[in-house]
Structure formats: structure tokens, C-alpha cells
Amino acid sequence: MSIETLQRPAAEHQVTPSLISTHRVLRNTYGLLSLTLLFSAATAAASAAFALPHPGLLLTLAGFFGLLFLTSKLRDSGWGVLSVFGLTGFMGYTLGPILGQHLALPNGHQVVMMAMGGTAAIFVALSAYALVTRKDFSFMGGFLLAGIVVAFLAGLGALFFDVTALSLTVSAAFVLLMGGLILFETSRIVHGGETNYVMATVSLYVSIYNLFVSLLALFGFGSTSD
């Protein structure tokens, strides 16, 4: 038996620097994501409990994109983490009035719990699939971007013209698009396409937020139509 043969098993179990880096990004991303989800849930609960008014579409968009831009600028420093909490806290605040509306329904608590359970199940299942199979979903990037832009514009149309059918269609589309975004972003982390855990956290948080709001709209409509 040659020396090369004896050394081969040890070599096969060596962990490459890129793999270590990927695991670190994943660990930091899921750790920060967990904290921001808890913080966002707390601000949403407080907003709903105190019946705070919704800031409105324009202020919501301005706050979201402004804080997103700030986070992107600060992503390589410790201030970037604080900016993420600012962004997710603000989005939690905007979610509070929406939760309040649904909780006021006859079976509102059930609707909210179903949306939370559905969001958690979809996120865990898709994340696990991307992590276990290690498939590359980078090809979905262009399709997801185009789909999100179209769905966003359609959602604005449904809001301004008060078209219920279009609003439900947009919600269903966002469920599919956010599921695709979870696969895409997780795949990017696994394959080294995203090495900044701050921006990875923001992307996954936005996916979870929109997924939850979309499921809430679909389940809420089903509840009111019964």
C-alpha cells in the first residue's frame, strides 16, 4: 500500500477555505435573521396592540428603500447590522396595522396562525432543499426580478383601482416569487455568490415578510368570503 493511498482518506475529509467561508456566512445569516425576525415580530405586536396607524404607501416605500440603501452602504461594518434592525423594525411597524385588521375578523387569530405556519413551512422546506441538494438556482435571477417588478406594478394597480381579483392574483404570484427568491438566495450563499451575511439576511427577511403578507391576504379573503 502506497503512502498516497494512506493519505487519500485524510485529504478527502479536508475542509477547503471556501467551504469554511460558506458555513460562516450561513451561520451568521441565519443567526441575524432569527434576531431580526424576533425584533420585527415585537415591533409588529406593539404596533398592533397600540393600534398605531399605517404610515401609508409612499412613506412605507420611502422608509423601506431608504433603509435598504443605507444598509447596503454600511454592509461591511458593524453599523450595517444596526441598519438591518432599523429596516426590519420599520417593516414590523408597518405590519402591525395589517395584523390588527385581520385579528379583528371573526376567526382572525386562526388566519394569522395559518399564515405564520405556512410561511415557516415554506421557508424551512425550500431552504432545506437548497442546502441539501446544493443545486444552483442562479438561473432564476432574471425571471425573479422581472416577475417581482410586474407583480409590484400590478399590486399598485389593484390598490389604486380596488380590484379584489387582481389583488388576490398578485398575492398568489408573490407567494411563488418569494419561494423562488428563497431558493435563489440560499443557493447564492451555498455557491459563494453572496458572501455578505448582512445583505443575505435582508434578502431572506424580505422574502419571508412578503410571503407572510401574501398568505395573510389569501387566507384573510377566504375567511371573509365564508
Rounded to two decimals, the pTM is 0.89
**Phi/psi of residue 192, nearest 5 degrees:** 80, 10
Angstrom distance (rounded) from CA 24 to CA 146:
31
DSSP letter for each residue of 118-162: HHHHHHHHHHHHHHHH----GGGHHHHHHHHHHHHHHHHHHHHHT
Model confidence at 106, pLDDT cuts 50, 70, 90, reads: confident
Evaluate if residue 1 carries a pLDDT over 50. Answer: no
Per-residue pLDDT at 224:
59
Confidence of residue 225 (pLDDT cuts 50, 70, 90): low
Secondary structure (3-state) at 174: helix
Structure-block grid coordinates of residue 110 = 386562526
How many CB atoms sit inside 10 A of residue 103's CB?
A: 12
Q: What angle do CA 177, 182, 185 make, to 5 degrees?
A: 115
